[in-house]
Structure 1
Amino acid sequence: MSEDTFAFRLKVLLEHKKLSLQQVADAVGISRPAVHKWTRGGEIDYSNLRRLAAFLDVNWVWLRYGDEAVRDLGLAGTTELPMTDLRRRYTAEIMSNEARMKHAQEAAGIVTWEWNLVTDELIYSSNCEKLYGREIHSNEEFWEILHPEDSIWLNADALKDMVASKAPRVWDFRIILPDGEIRWIESRVATLLDDASRPVRVVGTTIDISARKEAESALLRRLQLLNDAARIAGVGAWRWLRAQDELIVSDEWCRLFGVDPAKAPRHYIELSQHIHPDDRAAREAAVNDALARRADYRVLYRASLPDDTWRLVVEQGHARVAPHGEDVWLTALCRAAQPADMQAGAQPAQDGAA
């Protein structure tokens, strides 16, 4: 429960004045369960609120709405909430939670920050220097460590646009540490509004994602290598996850069959559209046999090209149980057939296909 609630203030006052729920009920003229509901966050009507505040000898506005309401109304005097065991336990719990949160935040390498749009004050959490290599006290100091290529799009104008849109953003950018090391950062940013929906603060969390970016870059390099090798070898590939009917085809498969990669087939049945009608049945029989036996297959057929010509293709595939369940993966390689393929054990899917 927050300290800034009617229920909390009431419970502290009852403890401080050593009042029972029944004593309050008798003084206000209501039932004991009704008072108990107030201490649990229940609503209180105006007449009972005034009688309760008079009995407790406190300002009724403060009792119901707290210090901020008193200040907003310009009322004289302040009410100090007494320090009771309840408040001590609550304060200790807050401090403990904050300590745990700070420890978890620092262990995870998460930096939090807040930019006050009214005062232009920028405050970072205490672990800022560990992430950025220096303390940051203003947006100008942040721009100084931003990678030049990223400062083209992440700048004061980008911040203004984000605040004006009032929409949260996620930014990936690079910073340069004092020793010249480049570090990738992910920042999640949100704009906080006042009661009139005016932007008053920008808050954010940032974390080092250099390891993730390096892994993504390494994966991309490996994929580029495989794509280059497949193109040089003239070998296309596809994989079908049968239960989900999820089909993935390579760029080289698209080139071999004359298909725009942006319009590549996404379902297994679409593959047959790129095979000569006279060859589909025999090829499908070979595939079904491999699926039934969890085995290999090899077949020749004519690929129908967009210009109404065809190309003789050899397709070699393997069916196996998927590593994450009982489903079946079917993986195949396709390439333009060579004369030697006719003597390699695969026959045309249909007589006369060669």
Structure 2
Amino acid sequence: MSEDTFAFRLKVLLEHKKLSLQQVADAVGISRPAVHKWTRGGEIDYSNLRRLAAFLDVNWVWLRYGDDAVRDLGLAGTTELPMTDLRRRYTAEIVSNEARMKQAQESTGIVTWEWNLVTDELIYSSNCAQVYGREIHSNEEFWEILHPEDSVWLNDEAMKEVVASKAPRVWDFRIILPDGQTRWIESRLATLLDDAGRPLRVVGTTIDISARRQADFALQRSLQLLNDAARMAGFGAWRWLRAQDEMIVSDEWCRLFGVDPAQAPRHYVELSRHIHPDDRAAREAAVNDALAHRGDYRVLYRACLPDDTSRLVVEQGQARVAPHGEDVWLTALSRAAQPADMAPNGAAAGN
């Protein structure tokens, strides 16, 4: 519960004055459960509020609305909440929560920051140097550590656009550490507004994603190697996850079938559009048999190309239980048919 609530102020006053709920109820002229609801955040009407404030000997505006309302109305005097056991427990809880938050923040490497648009003050959390390699105290210091290629788009103009749009953003960029190493950073930021809808502060969190980026780059290199090898060998590949009806199709498969990779099949039924109508039934029968027996299949069929011609294709596949045991994966390789594929045991489907 926040200290800036009617319920909290009431509970602190009751504890300080050693008043029971029944004593308050008798003094105000209402039931004990009604007073209990007030201490739990329940609403209070004006007449009962005035009687309650008089009984507690406090300003009724302060009791209901707090210090800000008293100041806004220009009322004289201020009211200080006494340091009761309740306030001590509340303060201790805040300190404990902040300590846990700081520990979690530092252990996970998350840096928080806040840019005050009114004072132009930039404040980073205490673990800033762990991620950035140094303390950051201003936007100018931040721009200085950006990788030259990223400083082209991440600059003062980009920040002005963020503030003007008032929309949250996620940025991935590189920084240069004092020892010359490059580190990848992911930053999530949002603009906070005042009551009139005007930008007041920009707040954000940043985290080192260098390991993730390196893994992504390694995966991309591996995929490129596989794609290059598949292209040289003339093999196209695809995998179908049956339960999700989700397909993964290689670039070489798209080249073989004359398909733009952006328009590659994403569902199994879409494959049929690229197979000659007279060959679809025989191919489907072979696939269904492999699915039923978790086995292999080999079919020869005509692929329909975008220019209304066809290409004879050999497809070899296998149906296997997925690693988690709850799905079936159908994986296949396709290539242009060779004369040897015309042997009797490789007769074209549908012919």
Q: Give TM-score, length-normalised by structure 1.
A: 0.95
2:153 aligned with 1:153 = yes
Partner in structure 2 of residue 184 of structure 1:
184
Deviation sequence 1:108-130 (CA, Å, 0-9, x none): 11111111111111111111111
Partner in structure 2 of residue 304 of structure 1:
304
Deviation sequence 1:57-92 (CA, Å, 0-9, x none): 212111111112222222222111100111111111
Partner in structure 2 of residue 127 of structure 1:
127
| In structure 2, C-alpha distance between the alignment counterparts of 1:190 and 1:216, rounded to whole Å | 27
| In structure 1, C-alpha distance between the alignment counterparts of 2:268 and 2:24, rounded to whole Å | 75
Partner in structure 2 of residue 27 of structure 1:
27
Partner in structure 1 of residue 136 of structure 2:
136
Alignment of 1:266-277 (within 5 A): 266-277=266-277
Deviation at 1:158, TM superposition (A): 1.2
| In structure 2, C-alpha distance between the alignment counterparts of 1:211 and 1:323, rounded to whole Å | 26
| In structure 1, C-alpha distance between the alignment counterparts of 2:310 and 2:41, rounded to whole Å | 77
Alignment of 1:282-321 (within 5 A): 282-321=282-321
| In structure 2, C-alpha distance between the alignment counterparts of 1:310 and 1:33, rounded to whole Å | 83
Partner in structure 1 of residue 18 of structure 2:
18
| In structure 2, C-alpha distance between the alignment counterparts of 1:35 and 1:58, rounded to whole Å | 17
1:97–1:228 distance in 2 versus 1, CA, 3 Å: same
Partner in structure 2 of residue 335 of structure 1:
335
| In structure 2, C-alpha distance between the alignment counterparts of 1:334 and 1:80, rounded to whole Å | 80
Deviation at 1:134, TM superposition (A): 1.0
Partner in structure 2 of residue 65 of structure 1:
65
Deviation at 1:175, TM superposition (A): 0.8
What fraction of aligned residue pairs are identical, expressed as a percent? Answer: 87
AA aligned to 1:308 is D
Q: Provide the secondary structure at the position in 1 that maps to 2:346.
A: coil
| In structure 2, C-alpha distance between the alignment counterparts of 1:25 and 1:112, rounded to whole Å | 47
| In structure 2, C-alpha distance between the alignment counterparts of 1:201 and 1:5, rounded to whole Å | 25
AA aligned to 1:148 is P
| In structure 1, C-alpha distance between the alignment counterparts of 2:21 and 2:342, rounded to whole Å | 96
Partner in structure 1 of residue 233 of structure 2:
233
AA aligned to 1:115 is W
- After the TM superposition, list the runs of 4 or more consecutive aligned residues in structure 1 that deviate by more than 4 angstroms: none
Deviation sequence 1:185-214 (CA, Å, 0-9, x none): 111111111111111111111111111111
| In structure 1, C-alpha distance between the alignment counterparts of 2:326 and 2:55, rounded to whole Å | 72
Partner in structure 2 of residue 50 of structure 1:
50
AA aligned to 1:255 is R
2:94 aligned with 1:94 = yes
Number of corresponding residues: 351
AA aligned to 1:205 is T
| In structure 2, C-alpha distance between the alignment counterparts of 1:262 and 1:347, rounded to whole Å | 32
| In structure 2, C-alpha distance between the alignment counterparts of 1:349 and 1:30, rounded to whole Å | 89
Gaps of 5+ in 1: none
1:315–1:52 distance in 2 versus 1, CA, 3 Å: same
AA aligned to 1:103 is Q
| In structure 1, C-alpha distance between the alignment counterparts of 2:346 and 2:319, rounded to whole Å | 18
Partner in structure 1 of residue 162 of structure 2:
162
> Aligned-pair RMSD on alpha carbons?
1.5
Q: Provide the secondary structure at the position in 2 that maps to 1:80.
A: coil
Q: Provide the secondary structure at the position in 1 that maps to 2:298.
A: strand
Partner in structure 1 of residue 221 of structure 2:
221
Partner in structure 1 of residue 260 of structure 2:
260
AA aligned to 2:237 is A
| In structure 1, C-alpha distance between the alignment counterparts of 2:188 and 2:44, rounded to whole Å | 40
Which deviates further from its counterpart, 264-273 or 96-105? 264-273
Gaps of 5+ in 2: none
Deviation at 1:313, TM superposition (A): 1.3
Q: Provide the secondary structure at the position in 2 that maps to 1:92.
A: helix
Q: Provide the secondary structure at the position in 1 that maps to 2:150.
A: coil
AA aligned to 1:22 is Q
Deviation sequence 1:220-279 (CA, Å, 0-9, x none): 111111111111111101112223322222111111111122222222222222222222
Deviation at 1:344, TM superposition (A): 8.6
Deviation at 1:342, TM superposition (A): 2.9
1:344–1:234 distance in 2 versus 1, CA, 3 Å: farther
| In structure 2, C-alpha distance between the alignment counterparts of 1:336 and 1:3, rounded to whole Å | 74
